[in-house]
Amino acid sequence: MINSENIPNGFFSSALKSGIKNNDYDLAIIKSEPSSVVSALYTQNKFQAAPIIFSKKNDKNKIDLLMVNSGVANSLTGKKGYDNVLNIADFASKFFKCKKENILTASTGIIGVHLDIEKIKNAIKKSSLNKGFDNIVKAIQTRDKFDKVYSTKLNIGDKIANFYAIAKGTSIIHPNMATVLLFIFTDLNIEKEALNKAFRVSIDKTLNRISIDGETSTNDTAIIMANGLADNKIITEKDKKSFKLLKNKLDEICANLSKMIVLDGEGITKTIIVSVKRAKTQKDAFEIAKSVAISNLIKILFISLSPNYEKILSTVGNTNINIKNLSLSVNGINIYKNGELNNNKSDINRLRESFNKERKEHSIILD
C-alpha cells in the first residue's frame, strides 16, 4: 500500500545506476534532516558481511545517511571488503557533509565479490537528493519480481506521524531473518530505547517467522529511522498508550512486508500460514509452527494436492514439545480432535476440493 500523503518529512533520497548491475538501479542513498534515532537488526549468520560490521559500530549514534547497494553483497571479502566500506563511507561523509560515524550501510547481491568503489563514488558525485523515495525500492532489489513497499500513518495525540517502508527478498528466507533488507522511515518523535524494544518485538513476530527454503544469509539487515519531525510528544515505554499504538503500527508494517516477501519467494506456487494456539509458552508455539513450516513432507503434501493430513500430525509429533488435547484444522476444516481423525466424508471432500491448483494460500491451525 502506497499513499503519497504518508511520505515522512525530513527524508531526501537518490536512486542511482552506478553500473554494478549494468543499467539497473543499484545504489540507494537516503539522508535524514534532522538526524534520526535508529534501531537496527542483522542476520545471525556467523559470517556477517562487511557493511553489517561497519553499521554495527554506528547504529548507537544518531544517523544522517543510509547507503544501500545491490548486485554485490560485499560478503566473505575479508579486510579489503571492510576497507572498501570505510572508503565509500569516508567519501560520502565529505560529499554529504556528515560524519562517518553517522552513516549506515547495507548490501545485497553476489557473495564473495568486491565492490567497485570507483563506480559507487562516481554515482555519489552525480547524485541529487530529492524529497521522497522515488525508485529507492528498485535500487535495493536483486531477483525481486515486484516492489515491496508499504506506507501508512499514525495519529499520536494531535499530531500525525508518517511511515514509509521498503523491503527486498525472494530466497534464502528463514527465521532469524534471511536474504532480506527492510527499511522503515518515519518522522515520529521517539526515544531510542523505546524504538529498539518495539522494533525488535515486531521483527521477531514477522520477519523472524517466515521461511521459504530454510536458509539464512550473510547480509540480512532491518533498520528503522525516526527523525522526530512529526513533533509529537516524545514516545517512551512509560507512555503505555502511545507505545502500544507504535508497536501495533510496526506489527502492521512488518507483517505486510513479510507476507510480500513470502509471496515473491523463488519457486513459490503456494503459501501456508501456520498458526499455533494455546501453547504453554510462546517458545513452544514457535517451535511447533516452525517444524511444520519447514517440513518438506508438508510442502510436498500441498504441492501434490494430496490431502493426507495425517502427515501433518506426524510432523508435529516429532517435536520435543509436550502436546495434549490437540485439534488440527486445514483450510478451515477440522480434521483431528479428541485423539481421532475426522472421517466425515463431507468434510474430507471439502478438504480435497480446497487443495485445488487455483488456491494459492492455505492455512494450518494447531490448537
What is the CA 288 to chain-centroid distance, rounded?
22
> Residue 68 pairs with which residues in a beta bridge?
28, 106
Buried b (16+ CB within 10 A) or exposed e, 112-126: ebebbeebbeebbee
Does residue 269 have a known ligand-binding role?
Answer: no
Write the DSSP symbol of residue 15: E
Helix (H) or strand (E) run with residue 79 in it: helix 78-95
Q: Which of 163, 365, 160, 181 lies closest to 273, judged by CA?
A: 365
What does residue 79 show for φ and ψ, rounded to 5 degrees? Answer: -60, -40
Q: Which of 241, 207, 244, 242 lies closest to 224, judged by CA?
A: 207
Helix (H) or strand (E) run with residue 276 in it: strand 271-276
Write the DSSP symbol of residue 104: E
In terms of DSSP bridges, do strands 271-276 and 361-366 run parallel, antiparallel, or are they unpaired? Answer: parallel
Does residue 179 have a known ligand-binding role?
Answer: yes
Q: Which of 299, 144, 320 lies closest to 211, judged by CA?
A: 299
CA dist 190 and 235 (Å) reads 5
Q: Cell numbers 508518517 correspond to what residue?
A: 162
Amino acid at residue number 328: L
Does residue 33 have a known ligand-binding role?
Answer: no
Amino acid at residue number 19: G
Does residue 266 have a known ligand-binding role?
Answer: yes
**Cα angle, residue 206 at apex, residues 324 and 278 outer, rounded to 5°:** 20
Are the C-beta atoms of 310 and 303 separated by less than 8 Å?
A: no
What does residue 33 show for φ and ψ, rounded to 5 degrees? Answer: -135, 105
CA dist 223 and 181 (Å) reads 8
Take residue 70 and report the three cell numbers written for it.
545491490
| Residues annotated as part of the active site | 179
Give the residue numbers of the binding site: 142, 168, 179, 266
Give the residue numbers of the binding site for substrate: 142, 168, 179, 266
